[in-house]
Structure 1
């Protein structure tokens, strides 16, 4: 092999190694550096007001937020019921929200249905959608479920953030017709642009910060988000 060609290959591998090292460093720092830097100061009113318990549901690459399904949350997200989400199901206890890339989210209900184009769009830039589902009783504790008790003010801020993540036509949320994972869930057009660096888990982290929690500076994976929550709260 000519020396020039061999030297070029070595440089390529060096740059790949540098890139991997930079990514690992970014993930580590993004987990251990808190956001915000200082914890919030609880007010007396917030400490005494009745709050709500929420759940962070973690999969291998995606996180959802589950809030209690009650009269208040049914009323705030009534548009989901009108679109077909079974908010009045007698066994439903939780209302689940997730944000993600439109192509990957809609076209990959299971890993066996993974296709090249949704993966390509997820790794570049894609439009976003919100997924709304319900669940019955969820077993706690378990590795894929993190529970958090919020005071009233922080819970209201979380619900506002979630509501504002839905794209609107006037005042109306916009369902994505023809797509669902089952009989009880629905997809909706969402605000924001999806990419692999700032995707579903960074949306979850933003939502939790709105609810007064501290996350890492950058949490692209469920595992790093979960670790940052344990470190900083």
Structure 2
């Protein structure tokens, strides 16, 4: 019995590794059209071992389009606000695990099965340090607009307004909002980031559930000529 279980575990692990490899190598997304205009809109992809975010520079347009953040007491209009950092994830794990020391069994179980989703929004003055971008790109206007629409449409709305999770935050500069879609181990935070980047005109792998697989796929399927975004936020 134990030998059979071991063989099944090994077989399952091999299948998972094959799926990861195929998910990186198989391209997904139309890519950037030629002559789509100057690429002058910087965005960055932030990541750690398990999670990725999209970082968008704060300017007058972003302050107007995401004005509800200021209404939710997030410092979008602060003079030192330079980056709007947004990530999608499972509500239980995301809101209850600000650090590894806060890890609990139930949020982990829900993240491996099914959970409602949230968007974590943070206002930053800079991206250096722990939040340094793992990749950055400059987008043309069309790709930038598609990215912003994708992010806007990821907020679940009640009466037209995004729904803030009151009392759920890691600090004074961030907050959580109800999001569209359901979270599970196959469609998680990093697949949301990949979908956002495809809307922006980048190619990703077909399935990139980990930050490393997303990074490998971005490097594999996109030209290296993209100028990096300003990482200092100055």
Aligned match of 2:202 in 207, 213, 220? 213
The structure whose residues are more often helix, as a share, is: 1
Matched residues in 2 for 1:132 and 1:143: separation? 16
Output the TM-score relative to the length of structure 1: 0.91
- Structure 1 residues 72-111: Cα deviation after superposition (integer angstroms, max 9, x where no partner): 0011111111111110222221001010000001101111
Partner of 2:96: 107
Name the counterpart of 1:231: 220
* 3-state secondary structure, aligned to 2:33: coil
Equivalence for 1:167: 156
State the secondary structure of the residue aligned to 2:42: strand
Unaligned runs of 5+ in 1: 1-7
Give, in whole Å, the separation in 2 of the partners of 1:182 and 1:58.
19
- Give the SS at the match of 1:179: coil
Aligned length: 221
Q: 5+ residue gaps in structure 2?
A: 223-234
Deviation (angstroms), 1:143: 7.0
Instruction: Find the residue that maps to 1:47 and give its secondary structure.
Output: coil
Task: Say which one has the larger Rg.
Answer: 1
- Equivalent of 1:27 in 10, 20, 30: 20
Aligned to 2:183: 194
Contact 2:47–2:133, Cα closer than 8 Å, also in 1: yes
Partner of 1:41: 33
Give the distance between the partners of 1:177 and 1:205, measured in 2 at CA.
28
TM-score between both structures, scaled by the size of structure 2: 0.90
Measure how far apart 1:224 and its partner are: 0.5
CA distance in 1 between partners of 2:147 and 2:31 (Å)? 17
Misfit runs of 4+, over 6 Å: none
Deviation per residue, 1:102-156 (Å, 9 max, x gap) = 000110111111111111111110000011101112249x975311110000000
- After superposition, the C-alpha distances for 1:201-229 in whole angstroms (9 at most, x for unaligned) are 00000000010100000000001101100
